[in-house]
Amino acid sequence: MPVADYKTYCKMLDNAYENKFAYPAINVTSEITANAALKAFADLKSDGMIQVSTGGGKFASGINVGSMVEGAISIAEHVHRIAEKYDINVILHTDHCPPNAVDTFLIPLIEESEKRVAEGKLPLFSSHMLDASGLPLKENMDLSVPIFERMAKIGQILEVEAGVVGGEEDGAAGSEDTPDEKMYTTPEDMVYVYERLSAVKDGRYMFAATFGNVHGAYKPGVVKLDPSILKKGQDAIKAKFGEDAYFWLVFHGGSGSEKAKIEETLDYGVIKMNVDTDTQYAFTRAIADHMFKNYDGILKVDGEVGNKKFYDPRVYLKAAEEAMADRIKEAIVDLHAEGKSLNA
């Protein structure tokens, strides 16, 4: 199937919300890591999301070019082509665009999609995340709404965040010293976000409310998640706007989270969970295993010629792709998305 169109995307998110499961959203930085995500989704008959950050795009464009826009476009074009070989629905998304990168990352990608739509094609990316969570909430929404209005005209979904995710991810989001009160979105904030974004004609959006989330890898017990905050927010918008009001919620900082906490968030409307740190580790661990096990064959030790079967990059990168796919499959199972593709 090709990358999902807007109607299919909305149907996917409604399906997840109604049936209390979520899609894994996998950060990728190359064709190889994108292929790992596609493999995992297809193997478990799960639809899924592939996303590119500013740093991921810059890396994908190569050392000499160093363009986050060109790299993101390159990955997206690869996924558009390869996704047609799979019988699942795939979403292309960009992750954590801060306000200072709106003009240099987000807008050029939206312009690329506008050109494609004018030619009768799908947008390049299905959705984008504008992360203005570091701004006061009114400024966050004042920045987000006009961009959202523009995106809605070409069938793109917006993701926003209020409250700050701790830790660090490609230089985005919060920091390790983020004040505790900033890491928990209030019901009042959630009501304000709903009021501002729901006023956009024909627009659908996702909301990353924060409930103690932290990017990166931490030992058990360090991160204090409180998923009940999500329920309080959903209850607050229903109380003000009626029973039909709800958020499609996003769980950031999903790597390493307790499975019980993940389960709880699904009950409160989480339909997307970002996974990056754990897949990075899985990918690199497979390469490290290969290097240690085949040390003598990889290096030209003591004047020897080595063994090309071991130092051919395709050998260890294939192992890395397999390992990353296996970790994504674990996330798919944790999120109850296995076998729930709209095409299954």
pLDDT value of residue 221: 52
Query: Is residue 1 assigned to a domain?
Result: no
In the annotation, is 95 catalytic?
yes
Query: Is residue 26 assigned to a domain?
Result: yes
Expressed as residue numbers, the domain containing 93 is 6-334
Query: Is residue 38 assigned to a domain?
Result: yes
pLDDT value of residue 172: 52
- Distance, CA of 230 to CA of 270 (rounded, Å): 9
Query: Is residue 340 assigned to a domain?
Result: no
pLDDT value of residue 202: 95
End-to-end CA distance of the chain: 12
pTM (2 d.p.): 0.92
Query: Is residue 129 assigned to a domain?
Result: yes
Query: C-alpha angle 94/97/98, rounded to 5°?
Result: 170
pLDDT value of residue 86: 97
pLDDT value of residue 286: 98
DSSP 8-state assignment for residue 4: P
Query: Is residue 162 assigned to a domain?
Result: yes
- Burial letters 82-116, b for 16+ CB under 10 A, else e: ebeebebbbbbbbbbbbbebbeebbebbbebbbeb
Q: How many domains does the chain have?
A: 1
Query: Is residue 220 assigned to a domain?
Result: yes
Torsion of CA 229, 235, 236, 238, to 10 degrees: 150
For 189, the token pair is 């904030």
* Residue 6 falls in which region: left (phi positive, over 0), alpha (psi -120 to 50) or beta: alpha
- Distance, CA of 86 to CA of 94 (rounded, Å): 21
Amino acid at 224: K
Q: Under DSSP, is residue 18 helix (H, G, I), strand (E, B) or coil?
A: helix
Amino acid at 202: D
Query: Is residue 343 assigned to a domain?
Result: no
- pLDDT in single tens digits along all 344 residues of the chain: 789 999 999 999 999 999 999 999 999 999 999 999 999 999 999 999 999 999 999 999 999 999 999 999 999 999 999 999 999 999 999 999 999 999 999 999 999 999 999 999 999 999 999 999 999 999 999 999 999 999 999 999 999 999 766 455 565 544 444 445 567 899 999 999 999 999 999 999 999 999 887 655 544 455 578 899 999 999 999 999 999 999 999 998 766 678 888 999 999 999 999 999 999 999 999 999 999 999 989 998 777 888 999 999 999 999 999 999 999 999 999 999 999 999 98
CATH of the domain at 107: 3.20.20.70
- Per annotation, catalytic residue among 95, 131, 278, 334: 95
- Distance, CA of 171 to CA of 206 (rounded, Å): 22
